[in-house]
Chains A and B, each alone.
Chain A
């Protein structure tokens, strides 16, 4: 992260003063827009336009027929359907709680793994390579794998709990079990990602601070709480932000592992929106669900805008 801030400062220094822009600068800026136009057009076509359309759809009467669909007038009906639906209220709470718990657990375990990795004296490279496998794994495969592990009659989990005398708890058949089981599957896949980021932050910490702490006779525990953790804060904030925003879109895992069930106990907002739109063909309420998800993410984005700003640096050329 240190590397970025220095490069950002360099551009600030090299950038021309605001206001008067000479011909050469203008020419270069034109070239810049020319170069970025194709990329920006593709992004706008696939994201900005549909986002706007999604919002419009969510406040319209959508009528679907065999050969197309029509928006008939503006209505607040889709949203009032949502607010009055227990399923939607549950999905909102579920998505938020699920996100909070998984991200916190991932952060704690991920930091532990990173601390271990940093001090590991044997096999560090191999462990790093191993960490990247769950990260690069298709989530659907992750879900199928845990579906097998949790299987009630021959799953490995049942066998292991039986072995240590915990009996045979039902995982995917009960709401609590399904939610907890899904969290474990999610934590398995994404903790390595957090660990790698934290490790990179750890490696970049200045060594002399630790020497000073050691001379002052600080214990390992004090050093961790008073020095390591505060210094790691920007790294951790960034990891948390991206994990949180990503977890709001939770879809693949419940779709394959639980199908949103039992009942609607693992219905995330994305699952709810998908089933409303593509199973029940309720495009209006579905779009309202999608828009409410997007609003949640946008709120998260705005809340963490400070982190974004840190990333972009102080340039404003």
Chain B
């Protein structure tokens, strides 16, 4: 739109592309170190100057992470908590988003602002009462101790995203459904929902990412290894004196891959979510 026409080699080698290359390096180099670090022997990773290529390479760090540090338990726990919380958020969020977008509820505006505020509230402000409450009802060290708070904390954002999608769907389609005698739930399920699918993807991928990466609540509520999630697991690898970086990197690569693939597949929806009104990092 605004770029001058460039010809020949200047089309590829110009200031803009060089700046692009520098930003790539800034972002990619740490990721590169993490990946090659996971294939290096502990002795080589701790050598100075550092090696640029893992020669000789090894996959021993991966087996150490899984056998010695129980990484598969953390991985399983993260998967269970994240999937159930995301499903709950999508189910409850769809209903609420539809109601807030499409029905003439009084006080909708205030409710939406309150929801937005809750979605940015710091976790530290509620962690102590929640901890004491969960201790009282015996929920410490359980999946529900994380699933319920994750659902609650991610719902406001999902409601926002879904409401915006519902607002964009023509009202006539619903009215057709109503004339044909379909109830409100039925109308939503078979007429409105299929059209709001992109919104569901967006809300889903944001919720998944947030649950997958959450640390404070997971650290506080589930102290037993059997119920710890990946972030807590990785943070407690090693001892006070030794940080086993090769093993940590191997576990990190395994933790980054599923979310990386998901984000890559749904990148269109991530970007639309970041820009369609409500933003969350």
B124 pairs with A120, CB closer than 8 A = no
From known contacts A36-B95, A51-B125, A159-B48, infer whether A140 and B235 are also in contact, taking CB-CB under 8 Å. Answer: yes
Report if A252-B167 is in contact (Cβ < 8 Å); known contacts: A32-B103, A42-B152: no
A113 touches B103 (CB 8 A): no
Q: A43-B156, A297-B121 are in contact. Are A133 and B96 (CB under 8 A)?
A: no
Task: Please give the distance in Å from B135's CB to the nearest CB on chain A.
Answer: 8
Question: Would B152 and A43 count as touching, CB distance under 8 A?
Answer: yes
For residue B48, give the distance in angstroms from its CB to the closest CB of chain A.
5
Contact A255 B215 (CB under 8 A): yes
Assess the A46–B213 pair: CB atoms within 8 A.
Answer: no
- Encode A248-273 as 1/0 by CB contact (under 8 A) with B: 11011001100000000000011001
CB A110 to nearest CB in B, in angstroms, measures 10
A39–B155 contact, CB under 8 A?
yes
Residues in B whose Cβ lies below 8 Å from that of A133: 27, 31, 256, 260, 263
Complex alpha-carbon distance, A11 and B167, angstroms? 7
- Proximity bits, A125-160, B CB within 8 Å = 1, else 0: 001111111111111110011111100011110110
Cβ-defined contact, A301 with B124, below 8 A: no
A1-33 interface mask toward B, CB cutoff 8 Å, 1 = contact, 0 = none?
Answer: 101100110110011100001000100110111
Q: Within 8 Å of chain B (Cβ to Cβ): is A303?
A: no
Q: How many residue-residue contacts, CB under 8 A, span A and B?
A: 330
Q: Are A197 and B275 in contact (CB under 8 A)?
A: yes
Of the residues A46, A112, A278, contact of B130 by C-beta under 8 Å: A46
B159 at the interface (CB under 8 A from A): yes
Provide the residues of chain B in CB contact with A128, threshold 8 Å. Answer: 267, 271
Interface presence of B9 (CB below 8 A): no
Check A132 against B270 for contact (C-beta < 8 Å): yes
Main secondary structure of the interface of B (DSSP, over half): helix
Chain A, 280-310, CB within 8 A of any chain B CB: 283, 286-287, 289-291, 293-294, 297-298, 301, 305, 308-309
**In the bound complex, CA of A54 to CA of B19 (Å):** 48
Q: Spot the interface stretch: A76-84, A173-181, A239-247.
A: A239-247
Is there an interface contact between A3 and B235, defined as CB atoms closer than 8 Å? no
Q: Given the interface contacts A8-B167, A130-B24, A290-B125, does A252 sit within 8 Å of B277 by beta carbon?
A: no
Query: Is B34 part of the binding interface, using a Cβ–Cβ cutoff of 8 Å?
Result: yes
Within 8 A of A (CB), among B1-37: 1-3, 6, 11-12, 14, 16-17, 19-20, 23-24, 26-28, 30-31, 33-34, 37
Stretch of B56-64, B65-73, B105-113, B196-204 at the chain-chain interface: B105-113
Rounded to whole Å, the gap between the CB of B247 and the closest CB of chain A is: 11
Bound CA–CA A40/B39 (angstroms)? 47
A193-225 contact mask (Cβ, 8 Å, vs B): 1 or 0: 100110011000001001000100000000100
From known contacts A1-B277, A270-B124, infer whether A188 and B27 are also in contact, taking CB-CB under 8 Å.
yes
Taking a contact as CB atoms under 8 Å apart, the answer to whether A47 and B104 are in contact is no
Distance between Cα atoms of A69 and B93 in the complex (Å): 35
Interchain CB contact (< 8 A) of B117 among A42, A134, A301? A301
Q: Is the CB of A138 within 8 A of B127?
A: no
Min CB gap B243→A, angstroms: 7
Q: Taking the complex as formed, is B168 at the interface, i.e. its CB lies under 8 A from any CB of chain A?
A: yes
Pair A29/B106 contact, Cβ less than 8 Å: yes
Does B55 touch A at the CB level, under 8 Å?
no
